[in-house]
Copies of this chain bind each other. A is one copy, B any other.
Amino acid sequence: MNELLIHGRQLAGPALVVLDLLGTFVFALSGAAAGVKNKLDLFGLTVLAFATGNAGGITRDLLIGAVPPAAIEDWPYLAVCLAAGLAMFWWYPRIDVNRKPILLLDAAGLALFAVTGTQKALAAGLNPAMAAVMGMLSGIGGGIVRDILVNETPTVLRADLYAVAALSAGLAVVGGHALHVPPFAGMIVGAFLCLFLRLMAIFRGWHLPTARAAAGDV
Q: Which residues in A have some Cβ–Cβ distance to B below 8 Å?
A: 35-36, 38-45, 47-48, 50, 58, 62-65, 67-69, 72-75, 78, 88-90, 92-93, 124, 126-127, 129-130, 133-134, 140, 144, 148-154, 156-158, 160, 163-164, 167, 207-212, 214-215, 218
Which residue on chain B has the smallest CB distance to residue A85? B211
Give the complex CA separation of A211 and B152 in angstroms. Answer: 21
Partner of A65, one of B36, B42, B67, B133: B67
Please, could you name 18 A-B residue pairs with CB atoms under 8 Å apart, sorted by A? A36-B210, A38-B158, A39-B212, A41-B160, A42-B208, A42-B210, A42-B211, A43-B167, A44-B158, A48-B157, A63-B68, A72-B130, A75-B127, A78-B129, A89-B211, A148-B148, A148-B149, A151-B153
Q: Which B residues touch A45, using CB under 8 A?
A: 211
Q: Shortest distance in angstroms between A66's beta carbon and chain B's nearest beta carbon?
A: 9
A208 touches B41 (CB 8 A): yes
Q: Which B residues touch A50, using CB under 8 A?
A: 133
B208 touches A130 (CB 8 A): no
Beyond the given pairs A44-B156, A89-B214, 20 more chain A to chain B contacts, judged by CB atoms under 8 angstroms and listed by A's residue number, are: A36-B211, A38-B153, A39-B210, A41-B160, A42-B211, A44-B157, A45-B211, A58-B63, A63-B72, A65-B67, A65-B68, A68-B126, A72-B133, A73-B126, A74-B127, A75-B129, A75-B130, A78-B133, A92-B215, A148-B149
B157 touches A40 (CB 8 A): yes
